[in-house]
Amino acid sequence: MNRIALITGATSGIGEATAEILAQNNFDLILTGRRKDRLTELQARLQKDTSCEVVILAFDVRDKAATESAFSSLSAKWKAIDVLINNAGLAVGMETIDEGVVDDWERMIDTNIKGLLYITRLVSPLMVQRKSGHIINLSSIAGKEAYAMGNVYCATKHAVQGLTQGMRIDLVKHGIKVSSLAPGAVETEFSMVRFKGDKSKADGVYKGFVPLYANDIAETILFMVTRPAHVNIDDVLIMPTSQAFSRIIHKEE
């Protein structure tokens, strides 16, 4: 029987690649994001190419009521989630703290921290009831260190690291695994979002070196969710070979 995974932020990048790899590896999927057209297209593609069953839920993770309503629309069968991948997230803007845009800060805090908490609060009690489950939180190298002009984004990912530890401590007695996964630079829509659609700035981030690709992270997630019951991968830091720290990237001219 397939296991059920819920992936937040499945409309692009890491979430979409993870949906693809889990669909090929005996998972049924609940896929979420705001862009319903993309979810519909992904659902059709996965159901055509694999034997996976897919449910889609379009909502904004910052909206607590919308998140609760989307979750409550699931049948009991689909609410029995084995793997929750808290992936939806974003960086917006890059300014020093004294020049930061408060609306951008709120978008990051509301999505990366509060959104993660809203969905976890709904899914985790059912895992506790079933005494089983695995939660993977998408952190970042930005959750391990701060970098210039990364202030609030880095703080949200440090919060994800802290929450992962706290969640693991609270849930260990119920047999639930909690993991964090912290990538360095992955070429996705991330930089287009951070730089508000400025393609040349976004492309510049990945120029001159080979970054990680979404599939590299999806393969890591597949490894994490297919360990035996007695093994939990607590915390993964995965970097491109050319990246030593957040802002130490060896680039060819």
DSSP category for residue 208: T
Determine which residue in the list 10, 81, 92, 142 makes contact with ligand 8X3, applying CB under 6 A.
142
> At CA 33, angle to CA 132 and CA 160, rounded to 5?
55
Q: Residue 228: how many CB atoms within 10 A of its CB?
A: 5
- Under the binding rule (CB under 6 A), the answer on residue 185 touching ligand NDP is yes
Residue 89 binding result from ligand 8X3, ligand NDP, none, given CB thresholds of 5 to 8 Å by partner type: ligand NDP
**CB neighbour list of residue 61: distance below 8 Å, 6 or more residues apart:** 8, 9, 32, 67, 88, 111, 114, 115, 116, 118, 119
Among ligand 8X3, ligand NDP, none, what does residue 246 contact (CB within 5–8 Å per kind)?
Answer: ligand 8X3
Give residue for tokens 């890491």. 14
Minimum separation from the CB atom of position 64 to ligand NDP (A):
12
Of these residues, 118, 153, 206, 213, which one is catalytic? Answer: 153
Distance CA 249, CA 152 (A): 22
For residue 59, the minimal CB distance to ligand NDP (Å) is: 7
Q: How far is the CB of 185 from ligand NDP (least distance, A)?
A: 5
Using CB under 6 A, which of 62, 88, 246, 249 touches ligand 8X3?
A: 246
What is the H or E stretch that residue 4 is in? strand 3-7
Q: What share of the chain is helix, strand, coil (3-state, %, to 5)?
A: 50, 20, 35
- CB-nearest residue to ligand 8X3: 140
Nearest one of 206, 163, 161 to 182, comparing CA atoms: 161
Is 153 an active-site residue? Answer: yes
Residue 185 near ligand 8X3 by CB under 6 A: yes
- Closest distance between ligand NDP and the C-beta of residue 136, in Å? 11
Site mask for ligand NDP (CB under 6 A), range 25-44, x = bound = --------xxx---------
Chain length of the chain: 253
Q: How many CB atoms lie within 10 A of CB 137?
A: 26
User: Which CB, 53 or 63, lies closer to ligand NDP?
Assistant: 63
* Stretch in the footprint of ligand 8X3 (CB under 6 A) among 36-44, 77-85, 140-148, 217-225: 140-148
Give the largest CA-CA distance in the chain.
55
> Is residue 11 involved in binding ligand NDP (CB under 6 A)?
yes
Asked if 19 interacts with ligand 8X3 (CB under 6 A), we say no
Half-sphere CA count of 111, side-chain side, radius 13 A:
22
- Catalytically active residues are 153
Where along the sequence are the contacts to ligand 8X3 (CB under 6 A)?
A: 140-142, 150, 185, 246
Where along the sequence are the contacts to ligand NDP (CB under 6 A)?
A: 9-15, 33-35, 60-62, 87-90, 111, 138, 140, 183, 185-186, 188-190, 193
